[in-house]
A and B are shown apart, each in its own frame.
Chain A
Amino acid sequence: MVTSMRRSFNATLKCQPEMFPRVRKRGGAELLFDGVKNHHVTLPGQSDPWDMKQLLAWIRGNMLKERPELFMQGDTVRPGILVLINDADWELMGELEYQLQDQDNIVFISTLHGG
């Protein structure tokens, strides 16, 4: 079941325009986010570009509903969770250092479940 949740807040333009990445969850990871698989998120603008590390911290703070240790380990995702940025492995993009672009598609797939 695919549902889309749009979150928007009043935008104030700053030096860096807001980002609208799309974040998706697969493979069971959606259980930690109330079962919602697709999220359209609007990240608040800031002076430096957003990178993955900040996005993860933001997700942990704002979207993760329960059991943060099942999604994240320290600064990065828990081993066993794959991250795809625009359908490519994030290891090819620099992992945590990758800088987000507007309308990026980010998918988290949990490989620890299913078989």
Chain B
Amino acid sequence: MKCKEGTAVLIIRVNDAFCRSCFKEYFIHKFRAMLGKNRVIFPQEKVLLAVSGGTASCSMLSQVQEGLSREAPKKLRFVPGIIYIDDGGACGRSAEERQRSNALLKSIFTETGFTYFIVSLEQVFSLPTSVLVPGTSDPDPSNPSYKQAVDQYIKEKQTLTEENVASAVAQLNIEDSAYSPEHKLALERLFSSMKTLTAKEDMLQTLRQHLILHIARENGYSKVMMGDSCSRLAVKLLSNIALGRGAALASDTGFSDPRYGDVVIVRPMRDYSSKEIAFYSRMFNVPSVFISGLDTKTHDKASIQRLTESFVTNLQFDFPSTVSTIYRTSEKLHTVMPPQSQTAEPASKCLLCLCTLDTKVDKASAFHATLVSEQLSQIKLQDPSLDAPAQSAEQCCTEGQGCGPGGCCSSNRLPSHQDLKTLLCYSCRLTIKDMVATNTLPPYIITEAEKRQKRSQMKMEISEYLLEDDEEDGGTAAL
């Protein structure tokens, strides 16, 4: 054992025993080292901490508090805010339970003195479509490098008084946990139209991300910290592969996730196993609130995510290096950038998860093979009567005058599964496939889907008139 004087209270990784004070130091040091190694958080940057109430995110919160309270120069240097998303509507919790956990969390957040946002998931129904468009990150050449930024900050520190900043920011606490009954109903309908728990969990995750992104953008936060621990990320890695998200693995499980452009997701807790976090929060009394989720008390095979979790946890029991092996493997993953020609427009993104679409590939790919086999297996099941509603909608359109302003059709013709599929990546397609009715999706998704479809249709129509930039001999087609 390291210090040889205290009594060991904890064993990590088979051989490392720690006494209480050594463990505390080790825990704190790891957090700072993780932030220091990946120099993505600049001084005075606004960082949103996504807290779910669980031990990992509350430990993250306490580490941030701890880091901000120390004396300079080792002090952490960003401006934190806290966000909590109340997803009780999707998980089937009663209104009293939600209010109770909201109140408990509110008391924890006010203790910290940071700005906090308590938002209910029902707010998803009033999001704008801009959430689905990745923002541009700032390629400003005048942006200093990390080291320069830090030096600059230290010089300016004499003039900047921390108290002013803190008090101004503290005014902005938002507790938007109220939700309208229509939204609540709409959310319940959305989740009950999903047939499998896997799809529900996936959709919940997506909607949560969108909401966090929206709040971050609205309030000027350029980074979001998530509390995913090492164990949780190992499970996420394997279950994402099973879900078909292999193409986005690097950003889903890496330290930083830049897919949203202007807002970067970071995961500073990814080096901590769940045992370390549980011990730390127990020994040093980190306040946390237990909130049951979608997969509480479900059996092992209820969803892909749940199955993977029990697989990894059981394997870890017999082979204690399982989680760290998976974790090390995930560190080696990088996203392959497709070779970009100058004329190529930015790669199109999935409508829901905003990762690069992995479905626009050649005919000789595995993906295409799955499509073909799907079509073949469905040919017999196609019922001619199912085509009738689609046809009647089209007829209405072709008649022209019957439509009126705004078009009765554009509001009735909800995006069918087929329409949405072209805009989604492989795993989001599977999630949507599990939905009985796509019209239960929140309006911002439906509107954005329609817009993109119209745009691609229009593009197809005028494609023959578009000049290709690399045609040197002046496009005879245009003449």
A binding-site residues for B, Cβ under 8 Å:
26-28, 30-31, 67, 70, 79-80, 82, 84, 87-89, 91-92, 107, 109, 111-115
Whole-angstrom distance between the alpha carbons of A80 and B314 in the complex? 8
Q: Which residue of B lies closest to A79 (CB)?
A: B317
Task: Please tell me if the beta carbons of A89 and B296 are within 8 angstroms of each other in the complex.
Answer: no
Task: Please tell me if the beta carbons of B9 and A112 are within 8 angstroms of each other in the complex.
Answer: no
CB distance from B437 to the nearest CB of A (A): 31
CB-defined contacts of B17 to chain A, threshold 8 Å: 92
A92, A112, A114 interface centre (most CB from chain B within 10 Å): A114
Besides A79-B316, A88-B8, 7 other CB < 8 A contacts?
Answer: A26-B290, A70-B297, A87-B282, A92-B8, A111-B231, A111-B277, A115-B57
B293 within 8 A of A: yes
CB distance from A62 to the nearest CB of B (A): 20
Task: Please tell me if the beta carbons of A26 and B282 are within 8 angstroms of each other in the complex.
Answer: yes
Whole-angstrom distance between the alpha carbons of A3 and B313 in the complex? 30
Whole-angstrom distance between the alpha carbons of A71 and B70 in the complex? 40
The stretch of B36-44, B47-55, B237-245, B374-382 that contacts the partner chain = B47-55
Contact flag A114-B290 (CB < 8 Å), given A79-B316, A92-B17: yes
Q: Which residue of B lies closest to A30 (CB)?
A: B290
Task: Please tell me if the beta carbons of B290 and A113 are within 8 angstroms of each other in the complex.
Answer: yes
Q: Which interface class (under 10, 10 to 19, 20 to 34, 35 or more) fits B?
A: 35 or more
CB-defined contacts of A87 to chain B, threshold 8 Å: 9, 282-283
Task: Please tell me if the beta carbons of B290 and A27 are within 8 angstroms of each other in the complex.
Answer: yes
Whole-angstrom distance between the alpha carbons of A7 and B275 in the complex? 31
CB-defined contacts of A92 to chain B, threshold 8 Å: 8-11, 17
CB-defined contacts of A70 to chain B, threshold 8 Å: 297
Contact flag A89-B10 (CB < 8 Å), given A111-B275, A115-B54: yes
Q: Which residue of B lies closest to A110 (CB)?
A: B278
CB distance from B158 to the nearest CB of A (A): 40
CB distance from B287 to the nearest CB of A (A): 12
B285-330 CB contacts (< 8 Å) to partner A:
288, 290, 292-293, 296-297, 309, 313-314, 316-317
B binding-site residues for A, Cβ under 8 Å:
7-11, 17, 52-57, 227-229, 231-232, 274-275, 277-279, 282-283, 288, 290, 292-293, 296-297, 309, 313-314, 316-317
Contact flag A113-B54 (CB < 8 Å), given A31-B296, A31-B297, A84-B282: yes
Q: Which of B8, B278, B283 contacts A111 (CB 8 A)?
A: B278
Task: Please tell me if the beta carbons of A112 and B54 are within 8 angstroms of each other in the complex.
Answer: no
Q: Which of A31, A67, A88, A109 contacts B278 (CB 8 A)?
A: A109
Q: Which of A112, A113, A115 contacts B227 (CB 8 A)?
A: A115
Task: Please tell me if the beta carbons of A107 and B282 are within 8 angstroms of each other in the complex.
Answer: yes
CB-defined contacts of A27 to chain B, threshold 8 Å: 55, 278, 290
CB-defined contacts of B55 to chain A, threshold 8 Å: 27, 111, 114-115
Q: Which residue of B lies closest to A69 (CB)?
A: B299
Whole-angstrom distance between the alpha carbons of A40 and B228 in the complex? 34
Task: Please tell me if the beta carbons of B53 and A114 are within 8 angstroms of each other in the complex.
Answer: yes
Q: Which residue of A lies closest to B56 (CB)?
A: A115
Whole-angstrom distance between the alpha carbons of A87 and B8 in the complex? 11
CB distance from A29 to the nearest CB of B (A): 9
Q: Which residue of A lies closest to B100 (CB)?
A: A1
Contact flag A114-B52 (CB < 8 Å), given A82-B279, A92-B9: yes
Whole-angstrom distance between the alpha carbons of A105 and B104 in the complex? 26
Whole-angstrom distance between the alpha carbons of A107 and B281 in the complex? 13
Task: Please tell me if the beta carbons of B53 and A113 are within 8 angstroms of each other in the complex.
Answer: no
CB-defined contacts of A91 to chain B, threshold 8 Å: 11
CB distance from B306 to the nearest CB of A (A): 10
CB distance from B225 to the nearest CB of A (A): 13
CB-defined contacts of B282 to chain A, threshold 8 Å: 26, 84, 87, 107, 109
CB distance from A111 to the nearest CB of B (A): 4
Task: Please tell me if the beta carbons of A82 and B56 are within 8 angstroms of each other in the complex.
Answer: no
Whole-angstrom distance between the alpha carbons of A67 and B278 in the complex? 23
Whole-angstrom distance between the alpha carbons of A83 and B316 in the complex? 16
Contact flag A113-B293 (CB < 8 Å), given A79-B316, A92-B17: yes
B275, B278, B297 interface centre (most CB from chain A within 10 Å): B278
CB-defined contacts of A31 to chain B, threshold 8 Å: 292, 296-297
Contact flag A79-B9 (CB < 8 Å), given A112-B309, A113-B293, A115-B232: no
Whole-angstrom distance between the alpha carbons of A11 and B283 in the complex? 34
Whole-angstrom distance between the alpha carbons of A92 and B317 in the complex? 16
CB-defined contacts of A112 to chain B, threshold 8 Å: 274, 309, 313
